[in-house]
């Protein structure tokens, strides 16, 4: 069996197209949604991600501004950058690009973002609202995955779902959203014993643990829906030959690295019923939902 491809790029375009009437309504009121990003240091992946978000803002006509700080920035300096965006009415949403350098207290920084501008959904107030099933903003990656599953016709009520990973950004909110959709949810992590036995029970398996090719064919129930959240940069040639699709090996040779997921795509694709690709799966959805959250912030309380 060859798994059906769950096209995140296609769904992301649908989400962005659905934002245009809302943007027209805001423009009629003289409002242009604004996104402020705080970028600390020169991490290449973070810089690429911020550029992608900037590009989407420009495509949709959102105002955007990036506050850049050096890798040596202190917690107080990053807090000041957040406060500057908090105080500007033309900035409706604030994104703090993670990870932050080790000397910066990330939790203090995220807590400083005004809840009504917290378009990443990481403020304790927004986390609590998500737990209570009355969210203001849902973290963008899990929210995008739920849109992908819904629009792909994946039934969740009464199904078994397994999430590998327990991060605040993906794993925990993903489990909550699946639970709210009436799935029966198991959360696995680095200390979980007999992982394949648990993942083979899943009708829907979400891999978000940050280990290239961790999920193999033996982890997957035949016909399961598998969502690969991983975005791992692989420079080892032997590992790349194992994990990268043959048609992308030329890209690896040119760049000296390739992006791969947490799922061994060749093995899992032969077992699963549906699978997200890497790249082109979850990544575009994350950015689309950030745009949606920024527009929602500009619209104000409903």
- Looking only at the bridges linking them, the beta strands covering 258-260 and 232-234 are antiparallel
**Cα separations (Å) of 23 from 61, 73, 169?**
8, 35, 27
Mention every residue, 6+ apart, whose C-beta is less than 8 A from residue 110: 96, 118, 120, 122, 123
User: Which residue is catalytic, options 16, 97, 172, 262?
Assistant: 97
Please answer whether residues 259 and 232 qualify as being in contact, where contact means their C-beta atoms are separated by less than 8 angstroms: yes
Mention every residue, 6+ apart, whose C-beta is less than 8 A from residue 30: none
Mention every residue, 6+ apart, whose C-beta is less than 8 A from residue 76: none
**Cα separations (Å) of 230 from 159, 233, 271?**
23, 10, 19
- Burial label, 48 (beta-carbon count in 10 A; 0-12, 13-18, 19+): exposed
As a whole number of Å, the CA-based R_g of the chain is 19
* Separation between Cα atoms, residue 93 and residue 219, nearest integer Å: 39
* Separation between Cα atoms, residue 219 and residue 201, nearest integer Å: 9
53 assigned to active site: yes
Q: The tokens of 298 are what?
A: 């500009």
- Looking only at the bridges linking them, the beta strands covering 204-207 and 225-228 are parallel
Please answer whether residues 206 and 214 qualify as being in contact, where contact means their C-beta atoms are separated by less than 8 angstroms: no
User: Which residue is catalytic, options 53, 117, 172, 221?
Assistant: 53
Q: What is the DSSP string of 210-245?
A: --TT-B-GGGS-TT-EEEE---EEE--HHHHHHHS-
14 assigned to active site: no
User: Which residue is catalytic, options 120, 203, 228, 262?
Assistant: 120
- Which residues are known to be catalytic? 53, 97, 120
């Amino acid at each position: 069996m060859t798994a059906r491809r769950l096209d995140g790029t296609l769904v992301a375009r649908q989400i962005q197209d659905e934002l245009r009437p809302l943007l027209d309504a805001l423009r009629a009121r003289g409002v242009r949604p604004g996104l402020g990003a705080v970028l600390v240091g020169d991490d290449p992946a973070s810089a690429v991600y911020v550029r992608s978000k900037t590009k989407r803002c420009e495509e949709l006509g959102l105002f955007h501004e990036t506050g850049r700080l050096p890798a040596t920035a202190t917690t107080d300096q990053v807090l000041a950058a957040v406060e500057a965006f908090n105080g500007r009415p033309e900035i409706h949403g604030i994104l703090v690009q993670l990870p932050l350098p080790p000397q910066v207290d990330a939790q203090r920084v995220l807590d400083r973002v005004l809840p009504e501008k917290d378009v990443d959904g990481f403020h304790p107030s927004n986390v609590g609202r998500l737990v209570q099933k009355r969210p203001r903003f849902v973290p963008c990656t899990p929210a995008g995955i739920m849109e992908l599953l819904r629009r792909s016709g994946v039934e969740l009520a009464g199904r078994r779902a397994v999430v590998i990973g327990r991060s605040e950004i993906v794993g925990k909110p993903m489990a909550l959203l699946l639970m709210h959709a009436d799935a029966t949810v198991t959360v696995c992590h680095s200390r979980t014993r007999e992982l394949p036995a648990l993942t083979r029970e899943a009708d829907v398996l979400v891999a978000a643990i940050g280990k290239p090719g961790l999920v193999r064919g033996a982890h997957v129930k035949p016909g399961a829906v598998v969502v690969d959240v991983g975005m791992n940069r692989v420079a080892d040639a032997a590992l790349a030959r194992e994990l990268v699709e043959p048609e992308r090996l030329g890209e690896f040779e040119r760049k000296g690295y390739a992006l791969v997921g947490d799922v061994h795509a060749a093995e899992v694709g032969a077992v699963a019923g549906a699978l997200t690709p890497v790249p082109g799966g979850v990544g575009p959805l994350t950015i689309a939902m950030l745009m949606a959250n920024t527009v929602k912030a500009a619209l104000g309380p409903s």
